[in-house]
Amino acid sequence: MNGRDGDRGTVIVAGSSAGGLGFAGALTLVFIVLRLTGHIDWSWWWILAPAWITGSLVLLLLIAATVLFVGAGMAEARAREERWRERTGRPQPQQHGPAHRWGHR
């Protein structure tokens, strides 16, 4: 079957899983069970720490990726403007709205 899952056409990658609990989720679940059974007497903040720490890290990574993506786009726009000025000796005409970028008039 050349690495494909029959009818659906989904590529199967060895060692990958679609979803699942993950380490932080499993650790949170273990902490909750230990707290509810009376084996530990931690604050709920610490019981749920693996979940909120993981969520915070994911959020920080998304913010950093967004900042880098926007910054790269701005740098490219500045470089494009500079190349235009070097070629023509005048500022690049302003483009308004998405229709202009897509070639619609």
pLDDT of residue 94: 74
State pTM to two decimals. Answer: 0.56
Q: E-assigned strands of the chain?
A: 4-5, 10-11
- How buried is residue 31: exposed, middle or buried, by Cβ count under 10 Å (0-12/13-18/19+)? buried
pLDDT band, very low/low/confident/very high, at 23 (cuts 50, 70, 90): very high
User: What's the mean pLDDT in 60-67?
Assistant: 96
pLDDT of residue 90: 81
Q: What mean pLDDT is reported for the chain?
A: 82
Helix (H, G, I), strand (E, B) or coil at 41: coil
Structure tokens at 68: 């880098």
pLDDT band, very low/low/confident/very high, at 17 (cuts 50, 70, 90): low
Q: Measured in Å, how far apart are the chain's first and last C-alpha atoms?
A: 49
Report the distance separating Cα 11 and Cα 1, nearest Å: 11
